[in-house]
Structures are given as C-alpha cells and as structure tokens.
Amino acid sequence: MADSSDARPSAGAALSAAALARLATLLPASSLSVDADALQRHGQDETESLRFPPAAVAWPASVAQVAAVMRWASAERLPVTPQGARTGLSGGALPVRGGLALSLERLDRIRDLNVADMTVETEAGVVTGQLQEAVAQHGLYYPPDPASRESCLIGGNIAEDSAGPHSCKYGTTRRFVLGLEAVLASGDVVHTGSANRKDVTGYNLTQLLVGSEGTLAVITAATLRLIRQPAATLVLGFGFDSLERAARAVSEVFASGVEPAACELMEARAIELLARSHDLPSELQGAEAFLLLELDGETSEQLLAAAARLGEVFAPNEPLVAQDARAQRRLWKIRSKIGEAVKGHSSYKEVDAVVPRSALAALVRAARRAATAAGLESVCYGHAGDGNLHINLLRGELDQSTWEESRDRAETELISSVLELGGAVSGEHGIGWTQRRHLTRALTPATLDLMRRVKQAFDPLGILNPDKIFP
Amino acid sequence: MADSSDARPSAGAALSAAALARLATLLPASSLSVDADALQRHGQDETESLRFPPAAVAWPASVAQVAAVMRWASAERLPVTPQGARTGLSGGALPVRGGLALSLERLDRIRDLNVADMTVETEAGVVTGQLQEAVAQHGLYYPPDPASRESCLIGGNIAEDSAGPHSCKYGTTRRFVLGLEAVLASGDVVHTGSANRKDVTGYNLTQLLVGSEGTLAVITAATLRLIRQPAATLVLGFGFDSLERAARAVSEVFASGVEPAACELMEARAIELLARSHDLPSELQGAEAFLLLELDGETSEQLLAAAARLGEVFAPNEPLVAQDARAQRRLWKIRSKIGEAVKGHSSYKEVDAVVPRSALAALVRAARRAATAAGLESVCYGHAGDGNLHINLLRGELDQSTWEESRDRAETELISSVLELGGAVSGEHGIGWTQRRHLTRALTPATLDLMRRVKQAFDPLGILNPDKIFP
C-alpha cells in the first residue's frame, strides 16, 4: 500500500495532432503511442502512488532516434521526461508536465564487453541485473545493486547515481562510470569521458551527468569499469539488544580494519513487521537491532579470520555465519524482504536520509522523535555502512487529512535533524519530484543558483524533465 | 633541463595603480606583492620552462579574503589565476594573461580530522604529503600520491584530479573528494556535496569542479574520504626481456585476480638513463622493461601467496621481492628517480597519454614510431596499471627550430595514435595551457561547445584562469 494522497491529474502539456504526426515521421512504426494503457503505465513509477500520465510515449531504439525526438521536442517546445524501468522512488521519471515520456527500454544492447580491459559499453536500456550476469560469466563484477536490480535499467541507475548494499565497499554507480553517450535537449549527441581508467581531457561532464536525474541530457549509453568477482564471500548476522549498541557496532566494524562489502542495519520494528510474514532465525527474536555484514575477498580462510576478529569486537554476541550460497541467500532475504513487509503493512512515506556513520544512532532517534511527535510510527533500515537509512513514516489508521498533515510535519522535522547531524536529504533515491521542497534548506542560495545556471547551460528551453530537482 | 622554447613575455593584463590600491584595502598587510621576484616565481610552474609573470600576486588567508579578491576581480574585469604549489605539468597555474596570481598556500589548515567517520576537512593550501602524514597518525590513509606529493597542495591536486602510482587500486583524487568549499568568479562562496559517503542532493558540482583546473571556481577547502591504512605491503620487481612481454604481463596481473595497489612500467631507455646516475639491481641490467608492483592487504602471508601466484604467471622470470620498508623504498626509488634522470639528460616534451590497458604495448610502439619519424628519442614510463604512460620526447642535441618542429610533429602524430587506440590526451596532468591544441581532435564540437557553456555558467566574465583548457 502506498500513499495515494498526491495522485492528481496531469496539468501537463497537451500534444497537438500535428506535433504528434511530425514525431511519428521520425520513428519506426510501433515506436509511439497515445493509448490510455501506455499513458497510464508511463505516468507512474514506484514513488508512492503518484500518477502523471504523459500526452504520448515514445520508444526510440537508437541514439539517432533519440536525437531526432529531442530535435522535435526543441522545435515544438514540449517537455520530455526520460524513463528507464520507472522503479525510482523520488518521482524522477514522472511526466509531471505531461508532454512526451521518452522510454529508453529499447536501447537494450550490450555493445562491447572488453574482458581484458575490464570495461563494458552498454546501452541505457539494459537491465542492471542482466548486465551483472553477462559480466559475471567472464569472472567480472559490476557491484552497484539497487533493490530493483532485476528490473531497473542501467541508464536509470546512472541518472540517479543508484546504489545498494554493496556500495558500502565499492561505491555508488558513479564510481563505475567512465564515459557516457548522451543526447542534449537540442538533439546534439555528446560523448563524455572514455573507456580509460583515468582521463582529464576537459571538464568531467560524465560525473556531472551521473545523478542529474534526466534533467541535463538523455543518457543513451555508458562505458563502465568492472572489477574481478571476489573469489570468496561470507555473510554474518548479529543481533543486538540495543539500537545504540548496534549503531556503535557499525563504526567498530570499520575501526577494526575489516572492510565489509555490505553492512546493513535493521531496527526492531522492521524485524517485527518481517516476522509477521517470514520465519526468522531464533537469534533475531527479541533483538532490538540486527546487523548484516557481507565480507568478500580472495579466500574463505581470510574471511573467517576477519569474522573471528569481528566476533571479538562484538563479544558476547554470537554471529550467525553463512558460508555457503544457500545460507547466505537466507540471511540476505531477511534484509531484502523488509521493504515489502513494511509496504504491505501500511501506507508510508520514505525519507532516504544519509548521515556520517557516527551519527547513525542519532538519526534513528531523530526519526522516532519526529514520527512520535506527529502521531506516527517510524521504521528504519538500510545501508548503515554508508550512513544511509531508509526511514519509513507509517500512516497506520490515520484518515487522509490527518496523515498528510502529520507526514509533512514529521518529514520536515526529520530533515531538520538530518541536516543538523551533517547529513543530506537523499543518499541514493534522488530529489526528483518529491524531495524538492527540502532543497532550499539543504543548499545555500548561491549553490542552488549555480545548479540552475548549469541546468540552463544544458537545456536553455527547459524542456528536459522539467520541474524536477529544483523547488 | 626543460624546454624553454615557449618562454615569452606576458602579453597579459596590466594592473592599474588604482585597482591595486583597491585590492590592497581588502587584504591584510603582506598579502599582496608586485615585487619582481614574486612575479617571477608565480609566473612559472613545472611545465617545461614556460614563464608568464602576473601583474601582482595575492596570498589570501581565508575564504572570506578569497571571496573579496574575486569580487574585486569581477568589478575590475581582471584575470585571476589560482595557484597551489605550481608543481603542475600542463601549465594550468600559469598566469598566461597576466592579471592576478591568487596563491592558496596560506589556506593551510586541516580544519577537522574525523577519525570515526574517516573523513578530513582540509583547506586547499595543505601539502598533500603532510595531509597524508597527519591522517596516517590515526591509522588512516589518503592514497592519491602524485610524484610531487612532498610539495604539491591538495587544492591543486583537486583542481587537476591528480593521481599517482596508487591510483591503480584506489583511483584518482576525485574518488576521495566528498565535498568542496569554493569561491566563484563573482565572489559568491558555494558549498558542494557534504561529508557523507553518499549524497544525491542536486547536481554533483563537486565532481565537476574536480579536474576543472581552476577555470570554474577557486577551491578553498575540501572534505575528503579516507580509508584504513593497509596492514601489510609487499613490493615486487620483474625484469622482462621484451617490452611486449612486460606490457602483456600488466594485463595478466589483473586477469590473475591479484589487484595490485600500484603497477608501474619502465622501458629500457628509462632504465639506461637511470643507470647513469644510480646503482641498479643486477636483475635490471639488460632488461628491456621493468615492472614494479606493490601489493597491499591485511597480512603478509596473504601478500606472499599473491606474489607466488604472480611468480607462476611470469615464470621463468624471478621477481625481486621487497618485504621490509627499506627494501621497498629501494625498489620504489628506481621508479621515482626516472623523471629526474630523464630531465637531467635532455630537454624534453612530455605527453601524458592514457590508453586501455591492453593497448599499452601499442602505445609504446606508437611513441617510438612518432619520435623516430621526427628524428627524436622517446622514453616511456609510468602508471601501467591505469594504462597511463608519461612519454618523454627528448630533444637531444637538436637546435631550437629543428626541435620545435620535430617535437610538434611527433606530438601530433603520437596523439593521433593515442586517440586511435581509444586513449585520451591526458591521464593525470590536465590540459591546462600546453595540451589545448589537441582538444579539438579529442572531443567532438558538440561536447566542446557544451564545456564552453558550462564555463560560461560559472564564469560569465571569463576572468577565472582564462585561456586554459579551451583551444
């Protein structure tokens, strides 16, 4: 159940029959639709239950076709919203001003997998999980693993700088992007960066485009850096009888010299909600917090030695240790099913807060305080190793207007605490449509103004994913 | 001996006595100079022997003073060239249009070292090596290690996205920059990013500013991510009887699953030049190429196991193995003294080419071919693990005009080969002043035009480090 209070009809740009006919001449048959079903489908993503149907949907299948669409949109002065698999959680892919939804899903070719140089050139429409499988067949590893990796597209990941549990050790999507092919609002095709591991030829537009949420250019392809698959992995679970202790444990892990590949935290309420639908290991019963660690490296012996070191750090807590793939999957399932369990329980509003690691316990306390003050419950879980928690504010049984008021109050209060803790509004979900109102608090006027000028430099007509990011 | 052929008097902006007097009111005493000595010193960096004295030098000691200087410069429409320690190798810090040299060396405070969160906030004028030592005292590690690290400033490293041998495993400077404080041409102070490990609050201006060579903003401070110091290191040296074999060995190292912290290659000519002034291990006598690897990790046993694996890959080549710090320094010295040895031998022109790793041998061959065709000698050495070689074209005994003509011909030819191999004009030295002419070949007009619009968005008057990067 997601929050439907913001669902509203699009007040967006209509598309004249003549403009549509001109667009149709630029694309092959079956590349354009105004069917109600298609408009409905491309009018939503995974953000709450927001709905903003576009006036039309286009599915170009090549960079030349994307360029033609953007030239058309520039000439017609019509808004274009680039879309991947629409799995985003901040409404970045919603056509909030109508116009054209530009789906990248047909640019779905892995152009070149270079095993020797450990790079892959992929089009934007390749599913992230499929890309990971394709490179894994050659012993290579593309670490960024958003929860939606079986359905999300790599282009969307790049546009949002997506991350996941393994960003703890390996970094977010941006750390793997060496170069981009992208289409500007004008229809000009630009190539940024290269397939080289170092490249300081002019401004790093690659790293500017990563995370720009489809507002600066339409990313059509990327060259990604790969690493070797680790030979061994080990998954550990620790229950803690206090949240403070678990949060402190996160810092202790890193201070011990062990660098986990993933370090995920779940607080008691998340575990309780999960227990309603899943059989959990007995060690989790009654735990106030659960920490899941994945270690990876060259040999199992090395990982077991690291695990022993952590065992000492957390004594007398005994870890759950998962050595084989099946046991590891079982432990990971505890973490990966929490989102669903929370969402199945109640309407919710999610805050994707990130803070310095040492402020994790303070963040959870701030979430509880903000929620309680507004008459709500909060549930925290997420990527503790990066200081990034997904804080769900639960609607419970509140009526619509009370919920809206309480939710907004709690969120405003929580973001204030996050910023006081030195944190940021979003760690990985982006600003998109739903987090814009916090930006004036998070950034100084001079910084925000500079971002607006950058937007202007890329998209002077303001047709590319309008009304996103900026308040 | 460096090439002095491009030395020329500055045709730069003069500074009226009135403008200078206005600037003097904005800064404390001893923060401004027009002494011939100072102008001479701040008119050069480590690039060949280029000299472009500014009209004045300012040494602000706070971000407020930097902001005041930039407001003044905007009002006066005068060029400002930000400078660190002037150790750059592409002329990025040269005041090619005169005006004001803005030295950041007095912003030399480490503002906050956060051991628990493994971050450090440092001002731009801190010497990179001193920053490394300060964090090492807490078991922390800042890996980027340009050759000039004992004198270069962290702000300059950020402006150039500097790198060094350890970028092989850890990445270049940009991978460690979480946030920046910077002053725009207008004098506005902006804050980009944060101290968080993930942050997708609006555009990533941090990563755009890294590597922008002082043309977009004056970087005054940065928050850097740190990692734990590896507990163990091992240094290996391998001599090869053919360059092809050594270049292939680089790819084999990575294919073996061993990820070296550093992977440096020297070709025979570099070793020969070094042998004139240094006692080299007998294993290097007659080698056509020398590969230096550093491994790091948690235990020596683990590293020795990895070394044994590499020994098999390179059999029958026997490695030189350095386990203790002294032996490691001795092997590293072979690599670190090459630059000096080459420079002491002849005037030279350096090309900082980077190619995909598998094209390393082709790159060295291309360098030899381009040099020979122009009647010059080439010497290659550098960061092979990143595909980044410093190619020195040697002047030898040529007269000035022959040298200039030969050098330009060889460089043009070499850059053509680099681009054909999928490489880039510069891996870590930047475009600055000396590499600008290659940019129109390396970038498409649409991409170059986009970079110009970004410059315009940051610096509409064009006063910040003018005539750099863009041809």
Q: Domains of chain B: which residue ranges?
A: 5-105+451-458, 110-228, 232-337, 346-429
Q: Are A13 and A55 in contact (CB under 8 A)?
A: yes
Is the bond leading into A316 cis (omega within 30 degrees of zero)?
A: yes
Q: Could you tell me how many residues make up chain B?
A: 471
Q: What are the two backbone dihedrals, phi and then psi, of residue B95, each rounded to the nearest 5 degrees?
A: -80, 70
A-chain CB neighbours of B451 within 8 Å are 202-203, 205
Find tokens 């892990």 and name the residue: A253
% of residues, chain B, pLDDT over 70: 97
Using CA atoms, how far residue A306 sits from A147, A165, A257, in Å, is 27, 19, 9
Q: How many CA atoms lie within 13 A of B383 on its CB side?
A: 32
Shortest Cα–Cα distance, B222 to chain A (Å): 15
Region A346-429: CATH code: 3.30.70.2740
Q: What is the pLDDT of residue A11?
A: 46
Among A166, A174, A198, the strongest candidate for a mutation testing the B interface, having the largest count of B CBs within 10 A, is A198
Q: Are B120 and B36 in contact (CB under 8 A)?
A: no
Domains A110-228 and A346-429 are alike in CATH topology: no
- The one-character DSSP state at A357 is G
Whole-angstrom distance, CA of residue A151 vs CA of residue B36: 65
SS3 of residue A144 by DSSP: coil
Q: How far is CA B250 from the centre of its chain?
A: 22
Q: Are B253 and B310 in contact (CB under 8 A)?
A: yes
**Contact check, Cβ <8 Å, A201/B259:** no
Structure tokens at B330: 């001795």
**Contact check, Cβ <8 Å, B254/A212:** no
**Contact check, Cβ <8 Å, B204/A210:** yes
SS3 of residue B221 by DSSP: strand
Whole-angstrom distance, CA of residue A157 vs CA of residue A144: 9
Task: Report yes or no: A304 at the B interface, CB cutoff 8 Å.
Answer: no
A-chain CB neighbours of B254 within 8 Å are 118, 228
Handedness of CA B314, B233, A142, B202 (dihedral sign): negative
Among A175, A178, A196, the strongest candidate for a mutation testing the B interface, having the largest count of B CBs within 10 A, is A196
Q: How many CA atoms lie within 13 A of A424 on its CB side?
A: 28
Which residues does B65 contact at the CB level (< 8 Å), separation at least 6? B26, B27, B28, B31
Q: Which amino acid is at B380?
A: C
Task: Report yes or no: A219 at the B interface, CB cutoff 8 Å.
Answer: no
* pLDDT beyond 50 at B8: no
Residues 241-270 of A with CB under 8 A from B: 251, 254-255, 257, 259
**Contact check, Cβ <8 Å, B207/A205:** no
Shortest Cα–Cα distance, A254 to chain B (Å): 8
Question: What's the whole-number average pLDDT of chain B?
Answer: 94
Q: Are A97 and A466 in contact (CB under 8 A)?
A: yes
Considering the entire predicted model, what is its pTM?
A: 0.96
Q: Are A93 and A214 in contact (CB under 8 A)?
A: yes
- The one-character DSSP state at A187 is S
SS3 of residue B427 by DSSP: coil
- Domain at A5-105+451-458, CATH from 1.10.3720.10, 3.30.43.10, 3.40.930.10, 3.40.50.10480: 3.30.43.10
Whole-angstrom distance, CA of residue A155 vs CA of residue A92: 13
Q: What is the pLDDT of residue B3?
A: 44
**Contact check, Cβ <8 Å, B451/A202:** yes
Q: Are B113 and B137 in contact (CB under 8 A)?
A: no
β-strand A100-103 against A80-83: which pairing, if any?
parallel
Task: Report yes or no: B427 at the A interface, CB cutoff 8 Å.
Answer: yes
Q: What is the pLDDT of residue B12?
A: 60
Whole-angstrom distance, CA of residue A331 vs CA of residue A321: 9
Nearest Cα residue to A54 out of A23, A95, A102, A17: A95
B219 beta partners:
B182
Whole-angstrom distance, CA of residue A342 vs CA of residue A327: 24
Could you give the angle at the alpha carbon of B274 between the alpha carbons of B272 and B276, nearest 5°?
80
Structure tokens at A45: 């993503």
Residue ranges for chain A with pLDDT beneath 70: 1-12
Whole-angstrom distance, CA of residue B183 vs CA of residue B191: 9
Q: How far is CA A162 from the centre of its chain?
A: 4
B-chain CB neighbours of A387 within 8 Å are 117, 196-198
Could you give the angle at the alpha carbon of B358 between the alpha carbons of B356 and B361, nearest 5°?
105
Which residues does A119 contact at the CB level (< 8 Å), separation at least 6? A178, A195, A223, A224, A225, A226, B356
Measure CB to CB from residue B198 to each of A196, A254, A354 and give the nearest one.
A354
Burial of A115 (0-12, 13-18, 19+ CB in 10 A): middle
Nearest Cα residue to B450 out of A448, A68, A193: A193
Task: Report yes or no: A188 at the B interface, CB cutoff 8 Å.
Answer: yes
Measure CB to CB from residue B469 to each of A119, A202, A422 and give the nearest one.
A202
Maximum CA pair distance of chain A?
Answer: 73
Region A110-228: CATH code: 3.30.465.10
Shortest Cα–Cα distance, A6 to chain B (Å): 22
Whole-angstrom distance, CA of residue B11 vs CA of residue B99: 10
Task: Report yes or no: B461 at the A interface, CB cutoff 8 Å.
Answer: no
Task: Report yes or no: B221 at the A interface, CB cutoff 8 Å.
Answer: no
Q: Which amino acid is at A387?
A: G
A-chain CB neighbours of B469 within 8 Å are 202-203
Using CA atoms, how far residue A282 sits from A192, A276, A278, in Å, is 52, 14, 12
Q: Which amino acid is at A164?
A: G
Measure CB to CB from residue B228 to each of A118, A259, A428 and give the nearest one.
A259
Whole-angstrom distance, CA of residue A22 vs CA of residue A110: 31
SS3 of residue B138 by DSSP: coil
Measure CB to CB from residue A201 to each of B231, B426, B450 and give the nearest one.
B426
Q: How many CA atoms lie within 13 A of B444 on its CB side?
A: 11
Q: Could you tell me how many residues make up chain A?
A: 471
Task: Report yes or no: A197 at the B interface, CB cutoff 8 Å.
Answer: yes
* pLDDT beyond 70 at B63: yes
Q: Tally Cβ neighbours within 10 Å of residue B445.
A: 10
Handedness of CA B162, A173, A178, A134 (dihedral sign): positive
User: For the segment A359-414, what is each residue's pLDDT rounded down to a tens digit?
Assistant: 999 999 999 999 999 999 999 999 999 999 999 999 999 999 999 999 999 999 99
Rg of chain B over Cα atoms, rounded to whole angstroms, equals: 22
Which residues does A171 contact at the CB level (< 8 Å), separation at least 6? A143, A144, A163, B175
**Contact check, Cβ <8 Å, A202/B448:** yes
Shortest Cα–Cα distance, A371 to chain B (Å): 23
Whole-angstrom distance, CA of residue A351 vs CA of residue A381: 11
Structure tokens at A44: 């939503």
Q: Are B328 and B322 in contact (CB under 8 A)?
A: yes
User: For the segment B407-438, what is each residue's pLDDT rounded down to a tens digit?
Assistant: 999 999 999 999 999 999 999 999 999 999 99
Whole-angstrom distance, CA of residue A361 vs CA of residue A41: 39
Using CA atoms, how far residue B435 sits from A202, A311, B95, B159, B378, in Å, is 10, 54, 16, 16, 18
**Contact check, Cβ <8 Å, B201/A431:** yes
Structure tokens at A32: 């354009």
Structure tokens at B346: 């002849």
* Assigned architecture for domain A232-337: 2-Layer Sandwich (3.30)
**Contact check, Cβ <8 Å, B116/A357:** yes
Residues 29-88 of B with CB under 8 A from A: none
A-chain CB neighbours of B175 within 8 Å are 171, 175
Whole-angstrom distance, CA of residue A248 vs CA of residue B156: 36
Q: Tally Cβ neighbours within 10 Å of residue A310.
A: 22
Query: In terms of CA atoms, which chain A residue is nearest residue B190?
Result: A447
User: For the segment B186-198, what is each residue's pLDDT rounded down to a tens digit?
Assistant: 999 999 999 999 9
Among B196, B226, B298, the strongest candidate for a mutation testing the A interface, having the largest count of A CBs within 10 A, is B196
**Contact check, Cβ <8 Å, A227/B259:** yes
SS3 of residue B120 by DSSP: strand
Shortest Cα–Cα distance, A413 to chain B (Å): 18
Measure CB to CB from residue A424 to each of B199, B422, B455 and give the nearest one.
B199
Task: Report yes or no: A451 at the B interface, CB cutoff 8 Å.
Answer: yes
**Contact check, Cβ <8 Å, A211/B189:** no
Query: In terms of CA atoms, which chain B residue is nearest residue A435?
Result: B201
CA dihedral angle for residue B439, residue B441, residue B445, residue B449, rounded to 10 degrees: 0
Using CA atoms, how far residue A63 sits from A9, A181, A184, A219, in Å, is 32, 9, 11, 9
B-chain CB neighbours of A449 within 8 Å are 188
**Contact check, Cβ <8 Å, A446/B188:** yes
Name the helix (H) or strand (E) containing B342: helix B338-345
Query: In terms of CA atoms, which chain A residue is nearest residue B212?
Result: A203
Nearest Cα residue to B360 out of B220, B240, B196, B201: B240
Angle between helices A445-458 and B445-458 (to 10 degrees): 150
A-chain CB neighbours of B226 within 8 Å are none
Q: What is the pLDDT of residue A14?
A: 78
Q: How many CA atoms lie within 13 A of B363 on its CB side?
A: 36
Task: Report yes or no: B211 at the A interface, CB cutoff 8 Å.
Answer: yes
Q: Which amino acid is at A24?
A: A
Q: What is the pLDDT of residue A12?
A: 60
Q: What is the pLDDT of residue B317?
A: 83
Which residues does A197 contact at the CB level (< 8 Å), separation at least 6? A178, A225, B354, B357, B386, B387, B388
What's the start-to-end Cα distance of chain A, in Å?
Answer: 27
